[in-house]
Structure 1
């Protein structure tokens, strides 16, 4: 029955600012803006593959987490510079001050994090080839490659 996750929604403090962030900074495409409520929908990927809903919430904002699928190559070679060039602060899962992608060895997957203007925790993630190694925890990509 279930073939994947099609959409997710997040609360934002300013719909205008968030539409600008997700379209101009991250490159998503505006799909629809509801004229009766402060809600907008954005396309992720090509061909209406995935959708992100933005819901303006003026009080009691509850930041969330979600991840954008990306390629291993893009995460390793471009993600950190891409984020920094957009004036975003990349960080790893450990939040140890190192702005390099890390591997969740149990999956295995390569990931780097950043926040949107409302503190929603966003992630670029790529599933890696091979079997997971949960005993390794969360490690650098270099460490992961040394265990292959």
Structure 2
């Protein structure tokens, strides 16, 4: 019945600047602006496969979290530079000052985090091959590789 997540919405303090951030900085594609309410819709990846809604909220902004599905190679070899080139600070789930991705062994998945201009927590994530090992918790990718040997 359910095949996936189609859209999610977040609050932003400045709709125009947020549309610029998500389209020009992260590469999402503008889809629609609703003139009757302060909201813009952006395509994530291929048109009409997934969507992000940006709601302008001037006060009492509620920060959210969501993840972009990415290739493992991008996360391991390009994400840090991609984010740094755009003045975005990557961090891992543990927030231990490391900019290296971590593995959620219960999935397993490789992930790195960063924040948008309003402090919404964004994530690049890639599901890894292999069996779930929840007892390992959150570990470095190097630790994951060592365990897979």
Return the TM-score normalized by structure 2: 0.98
How far the C-alpha of 1:61 sits from its partner, in A, is: 0.3
Equivalence for 2:19:
19
Task: Please give the residue correspondences for 1:112-131 in structure 2 after superposition, counting only pairs within 5 Å.
Answer: 112-131=112-131
Equivalence for 1:63:
63
Local SS of the residue matching 2:30: strand
Task: Please give the residue correspondences for 1:91-110 in structure 2 after superposition, counting only pairs within 5 Å.
Answer: 91-110=91-110
Per-residue deviation, residues 82-103 of structure 1 (Å, max 9, x unmatched): 0000000000000000000000
Distance 1:140 1:38 in 2: 41
How far the C-alpha of 1:47 sits from its partner, in A, is: 3.1
Count of residue pairs brought into register by the alignment: 148
**CA RMSD of superposed structures (Å):** 0.5
Structure 1 residue runs without a partner (length 5+):
none
Distance 2:118 2:18 in 1: 8
Task: Please give the residue correspondences for 1:1-148 in structure 2 after superposition, counting only pairs within 5 Å.
Answer: 1-148=1-148
Local SS of the residue matching 2:43: strand
Structure 2 residue runs without a partner (length 5+):
none
How far the C-alpha of 1:60 sits from its partner, in A, is: 0.5
Distance 1:60 1:40 in 2: 19
Distance 2:111 2:32 in 1: 29
Local SS of the residue matching 2:53: strand
Local SS of the residue matching 1:96: coil
Stretches (4+) displaced over 3 A: none
Return the TM-score normalized by structure 1: 0.99
